[in-house]
């Protein structure tokens, strides 16, 4: 079954209530598997399912226990973890930073591509993997320097992963598909385990994820997916809108259900959204959202003389809404196509004293001090984890500089050792200076003590982590390397936060009656932490949200200001610079869907803003309105002009000066 659920129509509700209905019909909880794309979405879905199942008294004393509700990557990790014997034993997971580091290391050893962006090379490798293209099958596009370097790096990157006994995020899906194809007996076990498969946000699936679903549901054909092709906006990271458009061809006999009632937006906002998406040329499903929420303000269409004026207007209007209408900052958002547009906004918001948060900043598990502690634990459990070892080998500093590390690496390569074996045998190696030898011995002692505490003394991870920070004097190093006392306190707070995560995890495991210190269980937990993605933010509090259009998907706000509605921003310049090909048309259509996503984030009021000029190379350049604005009938919008920011600031300054003079007069000043 394909449920085509428009924006604000309750996609997740469909999944959660279908799970409850399956259990009501007698399906055991452990036979149900629901997949989505972010840890946050999976957590919310699990919470909703647990509540519904408990409320309806389903599942007996076990309730919803046993249902697998996870991301595709977490599901893949579960499969590979249980089948690791077939894969050659234990493995580690590289996070995005690890992968970029590996690519940089490979690029540094090649003549070509040293100046290219490693992250862009990794994106090309990722897209190739998800299309099931091996390094040998990857064909560079003519004249594309990045593709040509990718051809060289891809094979070496895969070889590096194998030597490290590691998988990257893409492997967590691709390797499951390969394993199931190569081993029908293993596939048979998993097909019997999960008789009912459900998928949320199906429009975001890539080819590899489609293949996993086709294999898993190939026998029982019980698969229900929910999605909206109008919100397919992630082609740049491999998502393929054809997966949802061709669902009835991939899964013959499928039933298709349309959900077209929007429960989020007021009628004027929805009318604009429908007008924009109606012009799509690449969809075989035409659906127009309807709502019972009549009335509401027209969509405001603002034109500003400059980005500074645009930002100043948004900040002033938000301050007005907060002070005059008592609106909460958390109910407001500013959306934009590119992160580069945020600088002027931040300055204007600070000037108006409007609190804000920006989606897409550095996340908890990406912070240096957190990654350092996790790397120590990973090396203690798996000394072949070279990426983690490289991270901690000289942190805190212990005399093993870049030159010494390179010599250790060269010796390891020449002798067929792992890097850890070279560390252990440093006394027998030539060219290693005495400070580095002593540093290797210090590191070896620390790791050996950690292994003993974890595997023999069976201490809890929280206890071992605290012991580690004291042993390596981590707090002392943080104090010495931080930019301020406040920064040092914040960084140490991150360390304490990690201790808290371990403590809570150990309490959960003990409550289940399992051994919280088991090596296997801890490694699985460290793997799961690696999968914590950018959606794992704490509650930001009562602040305005700044986000790219891509980052806003799944969110909703009472008041939305969508800025930069100009050609070159939306649609983005990248889609306009290419020659007129089918691929270009597809790119433009994705930009249309992205604009539609931004519009449908608004519940009560929507402002669409653009600038007359933007400065390029020191000169003001006229801007053309976004082509999608032309698709909106005039009667649906209320146009207005934004005054120049400089004029407004001068007026405010003059008023302030007048008030100051009056105050001085009253005090007898001159």
Structure tokens at 216: 């898993």
> Which range (234-238, 417-421, 491-495) has the least confidence?
234-238
Residue 654 lies inside a defined structural domain of this protein? no
Identify the bridge partners of residue 558 per DSSP, sorted by sequence position.
none
In degrees and rounded to multiples of 5, residue 224 shows phi and psi of -125, 120
Q: Say whether 123 counts as a known binding-site residue.
A: no
Query: pLDDT value at position 581?
Result: 44
Both 589 and 612 in a single domain? yes
Do 484 and 341 share a domain, yes or no? no
CB 173 within 8 A of CB 77: no
Same domain, residue pair 441 and 453: yes
What pLDDT shows up at residue 416? 85
Q: Are residues 338 and 369 in the same domain?
A: no
User: Largest Cα–Cα distance in the chain?
Assistant: 93
Q: What is the span of the domain harbouring residue 229?
A: 2-85+172-259
Catalytic residues: 11-12, 200-201, 231, 601
The domain spanning residue 553 has which CATH number? Answer: 3.40.50.300
Q: What is the 3-state secondary structure (H, E, C) of 253-277?
A: CCCEEEECECCCCCHHHHHHHHHHH
Provide the pLDDT confidence category of residue 352 given band limits of 50, 70 and 90.
very high
Torsion sign over Cα 23, 29, 32, 37: positive
- Based on the domain organization, do 424 and 473 belong to the same domain? yes
Residues 435, 552, single domain; the answer is no
Instruction: Record the tokens describing residue 236, joined without a space.
Output: 């740049």
Instruction: Check residue 648 and give its pLDDT.
Output: 44
| 659: in domain | no
Same-domain check for residues 475 and 426: yes
Which percentage of the chain shows pLDDT scores above 90? 59
The reply to whether the predicted model has a pTM over 0.85 is: no
* Position 414 confidence tier, pLDDT thresholds 50, 70, 90: confident
Q: Could you give the number of structural domains in the chain?
A: 4
Average confidence (pLDDT) over 219-248: 92
333 near 601, Cβ under 8 Å?
yes
Higher pLDDT, 365 or 101: 101
Look up the CATH number of the domain holding residue 151: 1.10.10.160
Q: Tell me the two tokens of residue 217.
A: 């549901």
For residues 69 and 42, is the Cβ–Cβ distance under 8 A? yes
Q: Give the residue from 531, 561, 595 where a domain finishes.
A: 531
- 519 and 391 in a common domain: yes
Q: Do 495 and 422 share a structural domain?
A: yes
| Residue 154 near residue 123 (C-beta atoms within 8 A) | no
* Strand 544-548 to 332-336 pairing: parallel
Helix (H) or strand (E) holding 166: strand 166-167
How many other C-beta atoms can be found within 10 angstroms of the C-beta atom of residue 461?
A: 24
- Kindly calculate the radius of gyration of the chain based on its CA atoms and give it in whole angstroms: 28
Q: Collapse the DSSP code of 347 into the 3-class scheme (helix H, G, I; strand E, B; otherwise coil) and give the result.
A: helix
What pLDDT, on the 0 to 100 scale, is given for residue 647? 42
**Domain with 488 in it: what CATH number?**
1.10.486.10
- Position 656 scores a pLDDT of 61
Q: Is 568 marked within a binding site? A: no
Within a domain: 54: yes
Q: Which of 479, 497, 531 is the last residue of a domain?
A: 531
Contacts of 412 (CB under 8 A, 6+ apart): 418, 419, 421, 422
Q: Is 9 annotated as a binding residue?
A: yes
Of the pLDDT bands very low, low, confident and very high (cuts 50, 70, 90), residue 92 is: confident
54-68, 231-245, 296-310, 581-595, range with the lowest pLDDT: 581-595
Assigned token pair, 544: 């305005």
CA–CA separation, 363 and 367 (whole Å): 7
| 636 pLDDT tier (thresholds 50, 70, 90) | very high
Rounded to a whole number of angstroms, the distance between the first and last alpha carbons of the chain is 80
What pLDDT shows up at residue 534? 41
User: Do 509 and 402 lie in a common domain?
Assistant: yes
| Residue 309 counted as domain residue | yes
Query: What digits encode the pLDDT tens for the residues 428-487?
Result: 888 889 999 999 999 999 999 999 988 888 888 889 999 999 999 999 999 998 888 888
pLDDT at 505 over 80: no
Residue carrying structure tokens 């259990």: 23
Highest mean pLDDT among 399-403, 599-603, 653-657 belongs to 599-603
Annotated binding-site residue? 102: no
Residue 266: inside a domain: no
Query: Are residues 513 and 409 located together in one domain of the fold?
Result: yes
**Residue 668 domain flag:** no
- What does the block give as tokens for 314? 């948004």
In order, the DSSP letters of 96-135 are HHHHHHHHHHHHHTSSS-TTS-HHHHHHHHHHHHHTT--T
How much is the average pLDDT of 146-169? 90
Closest CA relative to residue 370, chosen from 517, 500, 480: 500
Question: What is the pLDDT at residue 415?
Answer: 86
Considering only 280-294, 409-423, 567-581, which range has the smallest mean pLDDT? 567-581
Of 127, 142, 164, the residue at which a domain comes to its end is: 164
Check if the beta carbon of residue 302 is closer than 8 Å to that of residue 249: no
Is residue 666, in this structure, part of any structural domain at all? no
6 is in an annotated binding site: yes
For 539-585, write each residue's pLDDT tens digit.
Answer: 568 999 999 999 999 899 999 999 999 999 999 988 876 544 444 56
Concatenating the DSSP letter of every residue in 381-444 gives H-TT-HHHHHHHTTSS--S--HHHHHHHHHHHHHHT--HHHHHHTGGGSTT--HHHHHHHHHHH
Task: Measure the CA–CA gap between 133 and 154, rounded to whole angstroms.
Answer: 11
The pLDDT of 514-532, averaged and rounded, is 65
Two structure tokens written together for 441: 């011995």
How much is the mean pLDDT over the chain? Answer: 88
Q: Write down the residue that tokens 């984030």 correspond to.
A: 601
- Structural contact between residues 602 and 559, judged by C-beta atoms closer than 8 angstroms: yes
Together in a domain, 68 and 97 = no
The answer on whether 36 is annotated among ligand-binding residues is no
The pLDDT value recorded for residue 516 is 45
Who has greater pLDDT, 278 or 112? 278
| Closest to 22 in 3D by CA, of 220, 198, 226 | 198
578 in a structural domain = yes
């Amino acid at each position: 079954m394909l449920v085509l659920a428009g924006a604000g129509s309750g996609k997740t509700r469909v999944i959660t209530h279908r799970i409850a209905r399956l259990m009501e019909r007698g399906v055991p909880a452990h036979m149900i598997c629901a997949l989505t794309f972010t840890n946050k979405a999976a957590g919310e879905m699990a919470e909703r399912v647990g509540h519904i199942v408990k409320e309806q008294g389903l599942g007996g004393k076990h309730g919803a226990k046993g249902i697998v509700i996870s991301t595709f990557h977490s599901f893949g990790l579960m499969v590979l973890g249980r089948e690791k014997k077939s894969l050659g034993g234990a493995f580690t997971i590289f996070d995005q930073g690890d992968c970029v580091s590996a690519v940089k290391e490979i690029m540094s050893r090649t003549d070509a591509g040293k100046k290219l962006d490693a992250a862009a090379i990794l994106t090309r490798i990722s897209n190739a993997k998800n299309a099931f293209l091996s390094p040998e099958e990857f064909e560079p596009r003519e004249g594309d320097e990045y593709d040509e370097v990718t051809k060289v790096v891809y094979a070496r990157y895969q070889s590096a992963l194998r030597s490290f006994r590691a998988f990257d995020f893409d492997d967590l899906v691709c390797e499951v598909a390969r394993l199931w194809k190569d081993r029908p007996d293993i596939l048979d076990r998993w097909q019997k385990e999960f008789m009912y498969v459900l998928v949320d946000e199906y429009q975001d699936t890539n080819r590899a994820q489609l293949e996993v679903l086709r294999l898993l549901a190939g026998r029982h054909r019980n698969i229900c997916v929910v999605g909206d092709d109008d919100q397919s906006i992630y082609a740049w990271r491999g998502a393929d809108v054809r997966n949802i458009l061709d669902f009835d061809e991939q899964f013959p006999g499928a039933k298709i259900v349309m959900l077209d009632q929007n429960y989020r937006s007021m009628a004027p906002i929805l009318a604009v959204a429908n007008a924009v998406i109606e012009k799509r040329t690449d969809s075989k499903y035409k659906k127009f959202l309807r709502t019972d929420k009549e009335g509401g303000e027209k969509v405001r269409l603002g034109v500003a003389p400059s980005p500074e004026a645009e930002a100043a207007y948004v900040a002033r209007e938000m301050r007005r809404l907060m002070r005059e209408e008592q609106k909460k900052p958390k109910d407001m958002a500013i959306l934009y196509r590119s992160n580069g547009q945020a600088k002027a906004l931040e300055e204007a918001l600070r000037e108006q004293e409007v609190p804000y948060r920006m989606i897409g900043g550095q996340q908890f598990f990406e912070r240096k001090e957190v990654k350092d502690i996790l790397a120590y634990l990973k090396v203690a459990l798996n000394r072949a984890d070279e990426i983690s070892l490289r991270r901690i080998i000289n942190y805190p500093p212990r005399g093993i500089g870049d030159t010494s590390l390179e010599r250790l690496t060269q010796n390891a390569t020449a002798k067929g050792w792992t890097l850890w074996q070279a560390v252990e045998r440093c006394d027998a190696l030539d060219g290693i200076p005495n400070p580095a030898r002593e540093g290797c011995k210090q590191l070896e002692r620390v790791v050996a003590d950690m292994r003993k505490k974890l595997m023999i003394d069976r201490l809890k991870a929280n206890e071992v982590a605290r012991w580690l920070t004291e042993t390596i004097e981590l707090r002392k190093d943080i104090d010495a390397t931080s930019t301020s006392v406040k920064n040092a306190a914040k960084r140490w707070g991150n360390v304490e936060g990690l201790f808290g995560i371990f403590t809570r995890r150990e309490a959960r495991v003990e409550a289940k009656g399992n051994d919280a210190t088991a090596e296997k269980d801890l490694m699985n937990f460290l793997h799961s932490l690696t999968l914590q993605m950018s959606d794992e933010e704490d509650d930001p509090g009562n602040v305005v949200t700044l986000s790219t259009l891509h980052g806003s998907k799944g969110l909703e706000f009472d008041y939305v200001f969508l800025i930069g509605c100009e050609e070159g921003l939306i649609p983005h310049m990248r889609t306009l610079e290419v020659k007129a090909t089918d691929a270009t048309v597809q790119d433009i259509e994705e930009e249309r869907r992205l604009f539609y996503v931004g519009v449908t984030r608004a519940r009560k009021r929507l402002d669409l803003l653009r600038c007359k000029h933007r400065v390029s190379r020191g000169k003001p350049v006229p801007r053309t309105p976004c082509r999608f604005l032309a698709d909106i009938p005039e009667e649906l919008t209320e146009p207005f002009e934004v005054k120049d920011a400089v004029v407004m600031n001068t007026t405010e300054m003059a008023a302030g000066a007048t008030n100051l003079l009056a105050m001085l007069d009253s005090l007898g000043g001159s």
